[in-house]
């Protein structure tokens, strides 16, 4: 009996650890000759303190291909790629197709580059996602910056509060930085754009890649399976020397990348007749009154909390949505905020319908909850009788009038006949 309880206790402990740390095993790729790993020790130590298992691998001319999979099983939850000048070395260790496969299999990626170190592997991978960093040698300049030797960006340029919501106005230090152009994709998460007075130039020759706020210094990408990627255009942003200015933003950025925050889940999605009768007890028919409810929770890095929002929508769809209703709060508990459509009437159309809540918001993980149910037509004895339809009284009155007129005609014909009268007779003579 004691062994049984010990077994269940171990299972419970493993589950709690799994919930407390969303992702743990992380591969760190670095080029010691380009950016010494010691320059990033503060944030790497933060990850280690959170039970991330960091596996370091140096990129050099003698490095060989990295195994990201054991057969079909992914060996790492995350990959961190520091700037490297040896583009061929990185391409030999992790080809572009391997990075794409890893990302499609829900692996998270944090990558950095600098004007002098933009490996083709990273560039081609980012281009596949619609992110286009400036070419090698292009540096973002802002001559209106408070410091001529390094790029300083105001927190006013933050674009997504779900990644980082600055409580006070401040500045971030980037040093020399690249800037990226973005495609118009809903999966791209713009995080920090460049100042309006900035531009990229190539060794002072004026060949501009970005101009003003169209350039981006920090960009995120969230896949349809909720895997996340963050690209940082400066190798100085996460360095220890800039910790005082960047620490809070950098910490929140790491949390978002590795899914420690802004993770949403939907729970307890139910629908029933307005009186509480379930579909199993009484299947839906057209024009029935129905109510739908669902709960949402948000992971804050430590525990699940109610997710408060005013833009969650429910759809009742066949091929196209018949209804699209904004959900209203209906109650909560310590972990979940519940929402409801209130009472609504099913459409006057039978068939197979989908009860769908598909919540997608830039910066938050997406969640989809759907249930497919059949809505039947009315049976013969369920249609309203003719006298219950107000417009039918016109036709009923006409029919009754015809019947009464016929009866009156018959009575009149019978009562006014010539029966009993003597007819005069005469003999015809020729």
What's the DSSP call for residue 158?
B
pLDDT means over runs of 10, the chain (430 residues): 40 39 77 90 93 91 81 92 79 87 94 85 93 90 74 93 91 91 95 92 76 93 95 94 94 95 95 95 95 95 92 93 94 94 94 96 94 92 77 87 93 74 62
pTM (two decimals): 0.82
**Residue 141: its pLDDT value, please?**
87
Please check whether residue 294 is in contact with residue 369, taking contact to mean a CB–CB distance below 8 angstroms.
Answer: yes
Count of other CB atoms within 10 angstroms of residue 4: 8
| Domain 263-378, CATH | 2.70.50.60
In what helix (H) or strand (E) does residue 371 lie, and over which residues does it extend? Answer: strand 367-375
HEC letters along 98-137: HHHHHHHCCCEEEEECECCECCHHHHHHHHHCCEEECCCC
- Candidates 3.40.50, 1.10.8, 3.90.1200, 2.20.25; CATH matching 2-257: 3.40.50
Q: How far apart are CA 169 and CA 167, in angstroms?
A: 7
Q: How far is CA 1 from CA 5, 8, 94, 122, 195, in A?
A: 6, 11, 49, 55, 66
Q: How far apart are CA 262 and CA 364, in angstroms?
A: 5
For residue 341, which of 279, 287, 270, 291 has the smallest C-alpha distance?
291
Helices (H) and strands (E) in the chain, counts: 7, 24
If DSSP codes are grouped into helix, strand and coil, which group holds residue 397?
Answer: helix
Count of other CB atoms within 10 angstroms of residue 108: 25
**Residue 11: its pLDDT value, please?**
39
Count of other CB atoms within 10 angstroms of residue 395: 11
Domains 2-257 and 263-378 share a fold: no
Q: How far apart are CA 94 and CA 76, in angstroms?
A: 13
For residue 253, which of 189, 181, 303, 178 has the smallest C-alpha distance?
189
If DSSP codes are grouped into helix, strand and coil, which group holds residue 249?
Answer: helix
- Sketch the domain layout of the chain as residue ranges: 2-257, 263-378, 382-411
Roughly how many angstroms between the first and final C-alpha of the chain, as a whole number?
135
* Pairing status of strand 53-58 against strand 25-30: parallel
Q: How far apart are CA 367 and CA 357, in angstroms?
A: 8
Count of other CB atoms within 10 angstroms of residue 44: 19
Angle between helices 41-49 and 243-257 (to 10 degrees): 40
Please check whether residue 335 is in contact with residue 347, taking contact to mean a CB–CB distance below 8 angstroms.
Answer: no
Q: How far is CA 225 from CA 22, 202, 294, 307, 312, in A?
A: 15, 38, 21, 20, 19
Angle between helices 96-104 and 120-128 (to 10 degrees): 40
> Per-residue DSSP letters for 2-63?
HHHHHHHHHHHHHHHHHHH-S--EEEEEE-TTTS-GGGGHHHHHHHHHTT-EEEEEE-STT-
Q: How far apart are CA 184 and CA 202, in angstroms?
A: 26
Q: How far apart are CA 177 and CA 199, in angstroms?
A: 11
**CA dihedral angle for residue 424, residue 425, residue 426, residue 428, rounded to 10 degrees:** 130
Q: How far apart are CA 84 and CA 123, in angstroms?
A: 12
**Residue 204: its pLDDT value, please?**
64
CA angle 288, 293, 294 (to 5 degrees): 150
Determine the longest span between alpha carbons in the chain, in angstroms.
Answer: 149
Burial label, 171 (beta-carbon count in 10 A; 0-12, 13-18, 19+): middle
């Amino acid at each position: 009996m004691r062994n049984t309880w010990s077994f269940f206790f171990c299972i419970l402990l493993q589950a709690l650890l799994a919930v407390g740390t969303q992702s743990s095993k992380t591969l760190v790729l670095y080029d010691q000759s380009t950016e010494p790993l010691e320059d990033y020790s503060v944030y790497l130590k933060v990850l280690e303190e959170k039970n991330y298992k960091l596996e370091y691998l140096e990129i050099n001319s003698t490095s060989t291909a990295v195994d990201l999979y054991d057969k079909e099983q992914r060996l790492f939850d995350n990959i961190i790629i520091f700037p490297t000048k040896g583009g061929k070395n990185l391409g030999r260790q992790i080809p572009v197709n391997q990075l794409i496969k890893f990302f499609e299999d829900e692996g998270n990626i944090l990558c950095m580059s600098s004007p002098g170190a933009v490996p083709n592997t990273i560039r081609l991978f980012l281009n596949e996602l619609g992110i286009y960093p400036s070419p090698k040698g292009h540096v973002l300049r802002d001559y209106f910056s408070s410091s001529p030797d390094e790029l300083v960006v105001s927190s006013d340029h933050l674009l997504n509060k779900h990644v980082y919501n600055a409580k006070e106005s401040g500045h971030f230090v980037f040093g020399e930085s690249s800037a990226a152009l973005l495609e118009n994709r809903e999966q791209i998460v713009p995080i920090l754009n460049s100042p309006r007075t900035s531009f990229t130039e190539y060794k002072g020759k004026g060949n501009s890649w970005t101009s003003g706020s169209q350039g981006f210094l920090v960009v995120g990408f969230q896949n349809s399976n909720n895997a996340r990627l963050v690209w940082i255009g400066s190798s100085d942003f996460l360095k220890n020397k800039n910790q005082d200015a960047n620490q809070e933003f950098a910490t929140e950025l790491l949390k978002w990348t590795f899914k420690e925050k802004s993770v949403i889940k939907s729970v307890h999605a139910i629908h029933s007749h307005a009186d509480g009768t379930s579909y199993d007890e009484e299947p839906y028919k057209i024009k029935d009154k129905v109510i739908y409810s669902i709960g949402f929770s948000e992971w804050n890095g430590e525990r699940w909390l109610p997710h408060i929002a005013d833009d969650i929508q429910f759809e009742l769809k066949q091929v196209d949505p018949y209804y699209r209703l904004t959900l209203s709060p209906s109650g909560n508990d310590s972990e979940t905020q519940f929402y409801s459509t209130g009472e609504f009437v099913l459409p006057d159309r039978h068939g197979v319908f989908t009860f769908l809540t598909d919540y997608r918001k830039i910066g938050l993980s997406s969640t989809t909850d759907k249930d497919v149910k059949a809505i039947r037509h009315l049976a013969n004895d369920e249609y309203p009788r003719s006298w219950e339809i107000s417009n039918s009284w016109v036709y009923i009155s006409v029919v009754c009038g015809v019947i009464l007129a016929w009866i009156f005609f018959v009575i009149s014909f019978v009562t006014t006949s010539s029966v009993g009268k003597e007819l005069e007779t005469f003999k015809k003579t020729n």
